[in-house]
Amino acid sequence: MKWFQLESDMPHDPKIRAVTRALGPAGLGGLTALWCHVAKHGSYPGRAVNRFHQPLALDELADASLLPGDQFQRLVDICLETGHFEREAWQRCRGIWIPAMERRADRYTRRHLTPTQQHLGLDT
């Protein structure tokens, strides 16, 4: 997935507000940079995993966020607490999965690709 969509009310979402309250504008920027990295390098929509379903390295994700290590960890903690990141995936394998990004990709695919394109995997 080489794209994702931001909606104009994104900064007002309670999950995003929690990040901004704790980390300020840098937290919002770090989260957005992380979303970009997951969209570009994750092999499945909304999932920071490679094509073998193995999680991308946390060091790589921390670097992608542009946040210092302690702030990246706080970002992850907040996103887990609010449900922005899937807690089960984190507990199981330290994987960052973003259900909202996955849902939006699914909706986009249903709206814009034909069934044949979807079957051929042209949605990634």
Q: Under 8 Å CB-to-CB from 27, ≥6 apart: which residues? A: 19, 20, 67, 71, 74, 75, 78
Q: What is the pLDDT of residue 121?
A: 61
Overall average pLDDT of the 10-16 stretch: 93
Rounded-to-integer distance, Cα 107 and Cα 37, Å = 20
**Which neighbouring-strand residues pair with 49?**
55
Overall average pLDDT of the 90-108 stretch: 81
Among 77, 94, 62, 61, smallest CA distance to 23 is for 77
- In sign, the C-alpha dihedral spanning 57, 66, 83, 118 is negative
Q: Which pLDDT band, with edges at 50, 70 and 90, does 109 fall under?
A: low
108-111: long-range contacts (C-beta < 8 A, 24 or more apart)?
108/5
Q: What residue spans define the domains of the chain?
A: 10-119
- Alpha helices by DSSP H, listed for 14-121, are 14-41, 58-65, 69-82, 87-93, 99-112, 115-119
Asked if the model's pLDDT at residue 107 lies above 70, the reply is no
The predicted-structure confidence for 51-91, as pLDDT tens digits, reads as follows 999 999 999 999 999 999 999 999 999 999 999 999 999 99
Q: What is the pTM of this model?
A: 0.81
Rounded-to-integer distance, Cα 30 and Cα 28, Å = 5
**Which neighbouring-strand residues pair with 97?**
47
Q: What is the pLDDT of residue 103?
A: 77
Q: Which pLDDT band, with edges at 50, 70 and 90, does 110 fall under?
A: low
Q: Which pLDDT band, with edges at 50, 70 and 90, does 8 fall under?
A: confident
